[in-house]
A = this chain, B = another copy of it.
């Protein structure tokens, strides 16, 4: 829970630094709000029941409640509206590694604007999130759905986009030949059409090269050309922002399954752990709340994969293996000094240190065992002798060194040990 909470607070502070406001919605929604909005799979997995006369269910994601919330409140909130939402969701599926019946989602979205500026900012936020969490070796893959849509348009295949997307999603797993085969069989594409789709989505080279090739392949198609122009703007902004350019990759192969996305799409990978998949994904959509309101609410956003990130951080040894949020433990040698121990701890807290006071005068051995078990970095000890000399014994738990210092030297010593 300690790293989990840190991660959530980091994410929130990044969202806030970009001017996103927190929202919350109830855990329970009327069932009719939730059913059919996430597909039949979600319906089956809902925790649903009746309470009095109300047919209710626990939310299975934060998107549907956000759509309902936006439809009801956007008149008062006004647009553009930027919100983040860190909340628990529930799915009655079989628990397995990294998948639980109850889990937390961390979403952020900008709605009420079609401007590419919001798409660029979404990319920046994902980037800053990763850096602030503590990663440096990651890549954010971006693409724009307008490119594929433009191609399908020019091939007169708009009606086959669901089948094409479904096949393309399997590209990294099954390879180009199998994807072509599926597009032929499931989507009724011709061999030539399928090859064009594959050729466009498997372009490689520098960003500039890929952009130029895309432009050439899509020339004359407005939708596709706009997609390329938007991507150019994104990379110009990345350049101007001074973001490490290797971290942002133009990847025409990412499609993000659902028809829902219509513009920029994002996936984030840890270079050391590509196998765990994208840890932060999202994209632009044309209409958030079409099921609940006639007002069109276009937007762009992404979702941080909290559980995946924590699993990755554990695997990469990025988590401090402690079970206390305080690095300093003040022990209690003698009950007659309890007020002094408590006072010392308060004084250290004033300087921003988290400090725990062992709550009773158990044997000093037991108190040190407690300190070891929880991973305290510093243990402070004082009995009659120390109080007489006005000293505090400070033990550095990593080196084992114990030093007696006056109170006025204590801060400096603590800062040195914790540094």
Chain A interfacial positions (CB closer than 8 Å to B): 1-2, 4-5, 9, 12, 16-24, 26-28, 47, 49-52, 58, 78, 80, 82, 88, 90, 92, 101-102, 110, 113-118, 120-121, 124, 128, 233, 236-237, 239-242, 323-326, 329, 332, 335, 338-343, 345-346, 349, 353-361, 370, 373
8 pairs, A vs B, C-beta closer than 8 Å: A5-B22, A17-B353, A17-B355, A18-B326, A19-B325, A21-B325, A82-B359, A241-B343
Contacts of A239 in B (CB 8 A): 339
Report whether A110 and B16 are in contact in the complex, using a CB–CB cutoff of 8 Å: no
Closest to A236 in B: B339
A169 to B13, CA, bound (A): 43
CB closest chain-B residue, reference A238 = B339
For the complex formed, measure the closest distance between the CB of A225 and the CB atoms of chain B, giving whole angstroms.
Answer: 17
A355: chain B residues at CB < 8 Å are: 17-19
In the assembled complex, the Cα of A322 lies from the Cα of B19 at a distance in Å of 12
Find out whether the CB atom of B21 lies under 8 angstroms from the CB atom of A124: no
Q: Is the CB of A340 within 8 A of B240?
A: yes
**Contact status of A27 and B117, CB under 8 A, knowing A323-B21, A326-B17:** no
- Can you name the residue of chain B whose Cβ is closest to the Cβ of A352? B17
Interface of A is mostly: mixed
Residues of B within 8 A of A353 (CB): 17
How long is the Cα–Cα vector from A58 to B47 in the complex, in angstroms? 11
Which residues of chain B are near A332, meaning CB under 8 Å?
Answer: 117
- Given A5-B22, A118-B359: A27 touches B90 (CB 8 Å cut-off): yes
Q: Which of B92, B115, B360 contacts A115 (CB 8 A)?
A: B360
- B357 and A117 contacting across the interface, CB-CB below 8 Å: yes
Q: Is there an interface contact between B360 and A113, defined as CB atoms closer than 8 Å?
A: yes
Ranked nearest first, the 3 interchain pairs of A and B with the lowest CB-CB distance are A19-B356, A49-B49, A115-B360
Q: Is the CB of B27 within 8 A of A2?
A: no
B22 touching A1, Cβ below 8 Å = yes
Report the minimal beta-carbon distance from A181 to chain B, rounded to whole angstroms.
39
Are the CB atoms of B51 and A92 closer together than 8 Å?
yes
B5/A12 in contact, CB under 8 A: yes
With A and B bound together, what is the CA distance between A43 and B329 in angstroms?
41
Q: What CA separation (Å) do A325 and B17 show in the bound complex?
A: 7
Contact (Cβ within 8 A) A339 B82: no
In the bound complex, CA of A51 to CA of B45 (Å): 10
For the complex, give the distance between the alpha carbons of A78 and B117 in Å.
Answer: 52
Contacts A240-B343, A241-B346, A370-B78: A117 and B19 contacting too (C-beta < 8 A)? no
With known contacts A236-B339, A354-B17, A102–B359 Cβ distance under 8 A: no
Q: B2 touching A21 by the CB < 8 A rule? A: yes
Complex formed: what's the CA distance from A58 to B329 in Å? 37
Nearest residue (CB) in B for A80 is B359
Asked, given contacts A240-B340, A338-B117, A370-B78, whether A23 binds B1 with beta carbons under 8 Å apart, the answer is: yes
